Amino acid sequence: MKLFKRHNNVLPGFGPTMGYTLLYLSLLVLIPLSALIFKTAGLSWHDFVAVVTAPRVLASYKVTFGAALAAAGINALFGVLVAWVLVRYPFPGKRLVDALVDLPFALPTAVAGITLATVYSANGWVGRYLEPHGIKVAFTPLGIIVAMTFIGLPFVVRTVQPVIEELDSEIEEAAACLGANRLQTFRRVLFPLLLPSVLTGFALAFARAVGEYGSIIFIAGNMPMVSEITPLVIITKLEQYDYQGATAVATVMLVASFVILLIINLLQKWSRRYAD
């Protein structure tokens, strides 16, 4: 570790900046999270298992993580498409579209949830055309995916966009000279170079979706066992003054999210194995 050999390091300020970083992370992340686990520790192991594996809670994990993975997947696909269009092609109103992408960041999630629920309900602008085909979006798990996709959109676009901008046009020309068609060039040359950033965007969108509460409760319908998300289970427990139960479920969410993010990170490292 080069960083810790003080006299060999020409970069100044390692001590103060590292100290500040640790303090900052402790106050904002580490201490609240350890309080969570501390509170959970009030439960016996037997009780803890009973709480976190209750059928209704298990169903909520499935809904939350399943929908979040689906939403992040959709975002990974269409986010790359949006980023590609924004970087590669000039078109009128490009700046407007570019600004539009960030809107889900800024919009209060409750507003987003109510709007989406209205648009996708049986007599909403979009919902009325889906309803006759037997597709129900609002107040079903599908609605949860829609809300999660909405709030996760900017993550993939904004992580992939600069990487597409940096792509060297010469490698595409080289591929064309070697006889590759457009699809082969994209699949074999461009996509592998985008993959690390797509995975980062996927991880961010996924993390955001798992933690989302505000917009989903308006569109989900919140039916236990069907369309109830884990954050709502936690809120319900809190409203019933079941603090230990709430923190127990939160702890499971925390660990599960951490493990999934870790796996994505490892995938991301693997996808850029050529760089070192």
Partner 1 sequence: MSIEVENIHKQFGSFTALNDVTLSIPSGELVALLGPSGSGKTTLLRIIAGLERADSGRILFNGEDTTEHHVRERKVGFVFQHYALFKHMTVFDNVAFGLNVRPRGTRPSKSEINAKVMDLLRLVQLEGLAQRYPAQLSGGQRQRIALARALAVEPQVLLLDEPFGALDAQVRAELRRWLRKLHDEIHVTSVFVTHDQEEALEVADRIVVMNKGRIEQAGTPDLVYDHPANPFVLNFLGNVNLFHGRLNQPGADQHGADENAVSYVRSHDIEIERSPQDSTALKAEIRHIQKLGPSVRVTLAIDATGEFIEAELTRDVFKNLGLQQSEQVYVRPRQVRVFVEDYQI
Cα–Cα distance, 18 to 26 (Å, whole number): 12
Closest by CA to 62, choosing from 221, 217, 224, is: 224
Closest by CA to 101, choosing from 89, 90, 113, 86, is: 86
- Residue pair 182/56 in contact (Cβ under 8 Å)? The answer is no
Nearest CB to partner 1, comparing residues 159 and 227: 159
The distance of closest approach from Cβ of residue 195 to partner 1 in the complex, given in angstroms and rounded to an integer, is 8
Closest by CA to 230, choosing from 268, 241, 245, 240, is: 245
- Residue pair 161/87 in contact (Cβ under 8 Å)? The answer is yes
Q: Give me 39's structure tokens.
A: 């509170």
The distance of closest approach from Cβ of residue 200 to partner 1 in the complex, given in angstroms and rounded to an integer, is 16
Nearest CB to partner 1, comparing residues 122 and 178: 178
Mark residues 47-86: x for contact with partner 1 by CB under 8 A, - for none.
----------------------------------------
Near partner 1 in 140-199, by CB under 8 A: 168, 170-171, 173-181, 184, 188-189, 192-193
Please count the residues of this chain forming the interface with partner 1, following the rule CB under 8 A: 21
The distance of closest approach from Cβ of residue 266 to partner 1 in the complex, given in angstroms and rounded to an integer, is 17
**Where on the chain is the footprint of partner 1 (CB under 8 A)?**
168, 170-171, 173-181, 184, 188-189, 192-193, 272, 274-276
